[in-house]
A and B are shown apart, each in its own frame.
Chain A
């Protein structure tokens, strides 16, 4: 009975791994062939000899109207967006959560509901007016315009709110008896306690920021602000017109856009999952 169950579990998991990783493996393997072979024979299930060639083309080739956009530049922009978004979100939402959990003030409920509202209406729904607002502020094609509107959703605030609520009240009382003010309490007690949480959220938000698509697509018309994920659209548009689409370069680009965030969550896996578990309490 026990044994058959273990076999069942392994079969389920192996099949799951096959379904989840299979497409990625095929995409990677295909990207190591040249595009004529792919065009003739379809996607590949082995390794071709064009790995270095394809990837160095994608990373170094200057493309676009200005001829200044390379894969490296897009990678840099992706990192700026990912890190900027994650840091901005953590700072803003920690402060807000601190106010909501530890202070009693009149507008608390009101503010809470406003913040809650942002969870319901993602950027995609109000994309057009958001674009207009950012345009009016002259923030198109800038990192600020890229990052700030994305911070407006309140997921981070909720993460921290949940976490702060799980911190025993005795700590606050003890701190108060010892004469610590709100600033002291925040820096000396709350931040050290939230370290894992901050790291976890940083990882999650970095991935979210890196993976942004619609907003960067709309608001970066200047190619020097393109991120890798934004570049995917460009590649798709180039493919439509071509006689033989450069499948290999498109797939290499997809792999490049995927590997950094994937490595981040794999390397910091324990922290990342722990953050999620903590949040449930």
Chain B
């Protein structure tokens, strides 16, 4: 009986997850010839090629910066908005609705709107940056493009964190809040000693989701911002896997990068679970 229930899930996972993942691992050890379809075993060569390429290192550094900034910024802004939205008495649901809206937007759609707003020719944000003497050149200047990506990716992720933090705040029992209010007058201190620790499980959960988002789901957003032809523009590691595999026809190299990414995510999750589970209080 349980096997029967699990069957659909396991079959789909086996065909569309385990098999491709296995194939990625297999082909990462081979050099494939796209014209003749032959494959030669090359051992770890694909890995060493990938890791020593300066291009790869540059992409890895950008990805690290991108993921860190997007996660931290969207988490903190989401939390700040949620704390205020939890406290206000008037207009609560209007605020909530308006702040949630962007959750529904697809990353590439956010990317398209970002491209327009940061457009050299028509974009108001470029004009805005120019007020401060900043000549933003998206698609030309490496860091200008990177900053635009970070801004759009953060913008897109704020509602997600906002919704989770707000529901987390609202699920704190009134009795706890009242008891805290009696014991401690300073609202700031109350927030950091009572509310924040109570939000810890949500935050932990969100941190993982945010890192996953920034690493993987931003693909569409980046694809739009670099306009499908990332000459000198910064991209994330995931984008590079796609580019090398589909555009560069470098199957082995792309697979090796996939595998490195898989290991990275695995390691990250294990570390996170170990580190944070000690401090998080699950109810």
Interface residues of A (CB under 8 A from B): 5-6, 8-10, 12-13, 16-17, 19-21, 23-24, 26-27, 30, 38-39, 41-43, 91-93, 95-96, 98-100, 103, 105, 107-108, 111, 114-115, 117-118, 120-122, 124-130, 132-134, 148-149, 151-154, 157, 182, 207, 210-214, 218, 229, 232-233, 235-237, 240, 247, 250-251, 254, 257-258, 261-262, 264-266, 269, 273, 276-277, 280-281
The 24 sampled A-B contact pairs (Cβ below 8 Å) are: A9-B88, A20-B101, A26-B117, A27-B113, A27-B116, A42-B123, A42-B124, A42-B127, A92-B8, A98-B5, A99-B2, A99-B3, A103-B2, A125-B241, A126-B21, A127-B241, A129-B21, A129-B27, A133-B15, A229-B108, A251-B113, A254-B109, A258-B105, A280-B205
The answer to whether A21 touches B255, judged by C-beta atoms less than 8 angstroms apart, is no
Task: For chain B, residues 107 to 143, give those with C-beta under 8 angstroms from any C-beta of chain A.
Answer: 107-109, 112-117, 121-124, 127
The answer to whether B108 touches A233, judged by C-beta atoms less than 8 angstroms apart, is yes
Min CB gap A55→B, angstroms: 16
The answer to whether A247 touches B163, judged by C-beta atoms less than 8 angstroms apart, is no
Pick the contact of B109: A149, A229, A281 (CB < 8 A): A229
- Give complex CA distance A173, B223 in Å: 53
- Give complex CA distance A20, B242 in Å: 30
Interface status of B61 (Cβ within 8 A of chain A) = no
- Give complex CA distance A10, B124 in Å: 26
Chain A residues lying within 8 Å of B212, measured Cβ to Cβ, are 122
The answer to whether B219 touches A232, judged by C-beta atoms less than 8 angstroms apart, is no
Question: Could you give, for residues 13-41 of chain B, a 1 whenever the CB lies within 8 Å of some chain A CB and a 0 otherwise?
Answer: 10111111111100100000000000000
Min CB gap B264→A, angstroms: 10
Nearest neighbor of B205 in chain A, beta-carbon distance:
A280
- A-B pairs with the 5 shortest C-beta distances? A211-B106, A129-B20, A103-B2, A213-B220, A99-B5
Of the candidates B22, B85, B96, B102, the one having the most CB atoms from chain A within 10 angstroms of its own CB is B102
Pick the contact of B113: A24, A103, A117, A127 (CB < 8 A): A24
Chain A residues lying within 8 Å of B258, measured Cβ to Cβ, are 125-126, 128-129
The answer to whether A236 touches B23, judged by C-beta atoms less than 8 angstroms apart, is no
Interface status of B52 (Cβ within 8 A of chain A) = no
Chain B residues lying within 8 Å of A258, measured Cβ to Cβ, are 104-106, 109
The answer to whether B219 touches A130, judged by C-beta atoms less than 8 angstroms apart, is no
- Give complex CA distance A134, B23 in Å: 13
The answer to whether A133 touches B16, judged by C-beta atoms less than 8 angstroms apart, is yes
- Give complex CA distance A229, B167 in Å: 29
With contacts A103-B5, A111-B10, A269-B100 known, what are 17 further pairs, Cβ within 8 A?
A10-B91, A96-B10, A111-B6, A121-B262, A124-B242, A126-B17, A127-B241, A130-B16, A152-B16, A211-B106, A232-B112, A235-B112, A236-B228, A237-B228, A266-B101, A269-B97, A280-B168
SS class of chain B's interface: helix, strand, loop or mixed?
Answer: helix
Nearest neighbor of B21 in chain A, beta-carbon distance:
A126
- Give complex CA distance A212, B241 in Å: 18
Pick the contact of B219: A103, A214, A247, A264 (CB < 8 A): A214
Chain A residues lying within 8 Å of B117, measured Cβ to Cβ, are 23, 26, 43
Q: How many residues of B contact A (CB 8 A)?
A: 95
Chain B residues lying within 8 Å of A121, measured Cβ to Cβ, are 17, 21, 262, 265
The answer to whether A247 touches B122, judged by C-beta atoms less than 8 angstroms apart, is yes
The answer to whether B167 touches A273, judged by C-beta atoms less than 8 angstroms apart, is yes
Interface status of B67 (Cβ within 8 A of chain A) = no
Chain B residues lying within 8 Å of A125, measured Cβ to Cβ, are 24, 216, 238, 241, 258, 261-262, 265
Interface status of B234 (Cβ within 8 A of chain A) = no
Min CB gap B258→A, angstroms: 5
The answer to whether B107 touches A213, judged by C-beta atoms less than 8 angstroms apart, is yes
The answer to whether A24 touches B245, judged by C-beta atoms less than 8 angstroms apart, is no
Nearest neighbor of B23 in chain A, beta-carbon distance:
A129
- Give complex CA distance A269, B91 in Å: 16
Task: For chain B, residues 243 to 265, give those with C-beta under 8 angstroms from any C-beta of chain A.
Answer: 245-246, 251, 254-255, 258, 261-262, 265
- Give complex CA distance A117, B250 in Å: 26
Chain B residues lying within 8 Å of A8, measured Cβ to Cβ, are 84
The answer to whether B241 touches A128, judged by C-beta atoms less than 8 angstroms apart, is yes
